């Protein structure tokens, strides 16, 4: 066992291996950028790790020295904060053993180098002066209390002595040229790393700023585009907003559109019909194309009114007008084929005939006007004919001779002859005596009971001829002079005398 231990010690001495435990890891973690400059998080755990290990103070001092010599400004500042906290809380064991020659050299170099960050130098001065104030009366900590002098830090109120290049070079006197060259190379490497880190951070800041600017610009562009679309939508809504459809106000325009659609469909059909397909085609005929365009425009208005109009009478007329235009356009499409057969023409004709054409309101109005004109012309013509022909009145009776009036006409032969005035005018006394013997209205009525209708039907024609003869005699009677009409008519006007 002793031989093995000896071999390990020899191997360690030759390879100069340093102990590595959680202390080094804690120092590495606490000096990272995740911790602020004056943060004390994790230091109690580091103190516990140092106290439970025999080589804890030495390992902690070595880890802090590496950060002071080779770390960046943040790591150097954090190393000073950790060192001050360990001196104040690490106990006597750490206080009496941390300030070895290598750590003191690192502190002296940190204070003497002109490239050291001013913030780090200020923190170093504060730490050394706090140690002087804390341990100046402790003889065992005399070396630590006077470190401010070794590092060239002045007490408050003292002026700093001017240092020449010789004085600066004397800081490394006694260490030999190899040590000076090594320290100089380390300093140059550290400066180079710091410059690279600073350049890297600057590039990262530039890239971050550029990304933020691009993101902000994209956000602004998106907001502007959204606002622009909103304005366009509002403008479109304001522009497209129409007045509500009023059928009573739009009725004249609706009738005009119906008439225009009917005319356009008829014109298109006529134009297509007049095309000579042997020498011309409906596609190249200017008249057909003109009528086709007008028909399509008229159909747009009809379709619009079909969607808006709710009147039942008018909607049927609109649909019928639309059917007319569609039939005419289908006729054009059929005849537009390269080869038109007789069957195609027949199909078009059947389609047009199958369209149920209803009278539109405008057509009905026109028909009423025509009928009124015809009636007026008929009345005026009849009056002229009657005044010019005296036999027109007599022709009415001749026209009724051969007519049969049914059961009522069958009994005309049994009626008494027409009442005629007596030959001589009677006195008032005779008139009063005979008035009671006159017949009542029932005696002069032509009503016959139903049971007598059947036997009397056989004599309808003969009696009709007799009635015609009696009518002829009546005409002769009315032509007698007034002197022969002395008998008083019972139906005459009593106030005539």
Residue range 179-218, pLDDT digits in tens: 567 767 777 887 788 888 888 888 888 888 888 888 888 8
Is the pLDDT at 118 greater than 60? The verdict is yes
pLDDT at 166: 41
Is the pLDDT at 381 greater than 80? The verdict is no
Band of pLDDT at residue 479, cut at 50, 70 and 90: very low
Q: What is the mean pLDDT of residues 4-33?
A: 66
Please indicate whether residue 422 or residue 26 has the higher confidence score (pLDDT).
26
Of the candidates 121, 32, 146, the one whose C-alpha atom is nearest the C-alpha of residue 82 is 32
Q: Which helix (H) or strand (E) holds 15?
A: helix 2-15
Please indicate whether residue 270 or residue 447 has the higher confidence score (pLDDT).
270
Q: What is the mean pLDDT of residues 454-479?
A: 44
* N-to-C CA span, the chain: 184
Q: Which helix (H) or strand (E) holds 376?
A: helix 361-388
Q: Residue 92, SS3? A: helix
Q: Which two tokens stand for residue 396?
A: 């009415």
Of the candidates 172, 186, 167, 191, the one whose C-alpha atom is nearest the C-alpha of residue 117 is 191
Is the pLDDT at 429 greater than 60? The verdict is no
Q: What is the mean pLDDT of residues 80-95?
A: 83
| Least confident residue range of 20-34, 80-94, 178-192 | 178-192
Please indicate whether residue 399 or residue 89 has the higher confidence score (pLDDT).
89
pTM: 0.33
| Least confident residue range of 115-129, 289-303, 304-318, 475-489 | 475-489
CB 410 within 8 A of CB 460: yes
Say which CATH topology domain 247-363 has.
Answer: Methane Monooxygenase Hydroxylase; Chain G, domain 1 (1.20.58)
Would you give the distance in Å from CA 153 to the centre of its chain?
Answer: 77
Is the pLDDT at 419 greater than 60? The verdict is yes
Long-range contacts of 141-144 (CB under 8 A, 24+ apart): 141/95, 141/96, 143/99, 144/87, 144/95, 144/99
Residue with tokens 């069957």: 343
Average confidence score pLDDT of the chain: 72
CA distance 455 to 339: 77
pLDDT at 266: 92
| Least confident residue range of 70-79, 88-97, 369-378, 462-471 | 462-471
Of the candidates 353, 235, 374, 254, the one whose C-alpha atom is nearest the C-alpha of residue 303 is 254
Q: What is the mean pLDDT of residues 267-278?
A: 87
Residues near 392 by Cβ (< 8 Å), separated by ≥ 6? 385, 386
Band of pLDDT at residue 391, cut at 50, 70 and 90: low
pLDDT at 340: 56
DSSP type of residue 483: G
CB 337 within 8 A of CB 300: no
Percent of the chain with pLDDT over 70: 62
User: Cα dihedral angle (11, 14, 16, 17), rounded to 10 degrees?
Assistant: -20
How many alpha carbons fall within 13 Å on the CB side of residue 65?
Answer: 17
Is the pLDDT at 326 greater than 70? The verdict is yes
CA distance 40 to 402: 141
Q: Which helix (H) or strand (E) holds 169?
A: helix 165-170
pLDDT at 449: 52
Of the candidates 311, 160, 173, 323, the one whose C-alpha atom is nearest the C-alpha of residue 245 is 311
Q: What is the mean pLDDT of residues 81-94?
A: 84
Is the pLDDT at 238 greater than 80? The verdict is no
Q: What is the mean pLDDT of residues 80-91?
A: 85
| Least confident residue range of 64-73, 234-243, 321-330, 431-440 | 431-440
pLDDT at 463: 45
Percent of the chain with pLDDT over 90: 2
Domain ranges of the chain: 13-171, 247-363, 405-427+453-497
Report the CATH architecture of 13-171: Alpha Horseshoe (1.25)
Please indicate whether residue 271 or residue 396 has the higher confidence score (pLDDT).
271
pLDDT tens per residue, range 346-375? 777 777 666 555 555 666 777 777 787 787
Band of pLDDT at residue 411, cut at 50, 70 and 90: low
Mean pLDDT: which of 33-37, 117-121, 167-171, 292-296 is highest?
A: 292-296
Is the pLDDT at 405 greater than 50? The verdict is yes
Band of pLDDT at residue 476, cut at 50, 70 and 90: very low
């Amino acid at each position: 066992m002793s031989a093995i231990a000896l071999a390990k010690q020899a191997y360690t001495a030759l390879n100069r291996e340093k102990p590595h435990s959680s202390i080094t890891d804690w120092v590495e973690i606490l000096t990272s950028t995740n911790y602020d400059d004056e943060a004390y998080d994790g230091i109690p755990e580091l103190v516990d790790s140092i106290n439970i290990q025999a080589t804890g103070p030495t390992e902690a001092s070595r880890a802090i020295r590496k950060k002071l010599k080779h770390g960046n400004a943040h790591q150097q500042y954090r190393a000073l904060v950790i060192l001050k906290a360990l001196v104040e809380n690490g106990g006597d064991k750490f206080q009496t053993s941390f300030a070895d020659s290598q750590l003191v050299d690192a502190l002296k170099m940190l204070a003497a180098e002109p490239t050291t960050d001013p913030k780090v130098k200020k923190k170093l001065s504060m730490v050394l002066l706090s140690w002087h104030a804390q341990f100046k009366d402790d003889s065992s900590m005399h070396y630590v209390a006077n470190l401010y002098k070794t590092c060239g830090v002045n007490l408050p109120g003292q002026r700093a002595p001017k240092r020449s290049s010789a004085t600066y070079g004397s800081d490394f006197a006694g260490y030999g040229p190899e040590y000076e060259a090594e320290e100089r190379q380390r300093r140059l490497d550290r400066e180079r790393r710091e410059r690279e880190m600073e350049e890297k951070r600057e590039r990262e800041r530039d890239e971050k700023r550029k990304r933020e600017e691009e993101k902000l610009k994209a956000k602004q562009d998106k907001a502007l585009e959204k606002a622009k679309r909103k304005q366009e939508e509002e403008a479109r809504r304001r522009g497209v907003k129409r007045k509500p459809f009023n059928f009573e106000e739009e009725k004249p325009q609706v009738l005009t559109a119906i008439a225009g659609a009917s005319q356009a469909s008829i014109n298109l059909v006529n134009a297509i019909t007049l095309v000579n397909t042997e020498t011309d085609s409906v596609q190249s005929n200017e008249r057909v194309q003109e009528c086709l365009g007008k028909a399509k425009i008229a159909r747009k208005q009809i379709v619009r009114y079909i969607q808006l109009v709710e009147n039942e009478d008018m909607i049927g007329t609109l649909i019928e007008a639309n059917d007319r235009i569609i039939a005419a356009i289908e006729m054009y499409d059929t005849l537009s084929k390269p080869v038109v057969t007789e069957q195609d023409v027949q199909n078009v004709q059947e389609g047009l005939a199958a369209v149920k054409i209803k009278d539109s309101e405008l057509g009905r109005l026109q028909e009423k006007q025509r009928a009124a004109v015809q009636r007026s012309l008929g009345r005026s013509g009849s009056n002229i004919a009657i005044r010019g022909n005296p036999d027109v009145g007599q022709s009415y009776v001749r026209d009724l001779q051969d007519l049969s009036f049914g059961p009522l006409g069958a009994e005309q032969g049994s009626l008494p002859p027409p009442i005629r005035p007596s030959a001589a005018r009677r006195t008032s006394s005779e008139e009063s005596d005979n008035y009671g013997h006159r017949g009542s209205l029932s005696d002069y009525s032509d009503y016959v009971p139903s049971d007598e209708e059947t036997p009397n039907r056989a004599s309808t024609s003969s009696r009709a001829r007799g009635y015609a003869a009696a009518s002829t005699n009546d005409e002769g009677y009315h032509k007698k002079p007034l002197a022969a009409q002395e008998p008083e008519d019972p139906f005459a006007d009593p106030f005539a005398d």
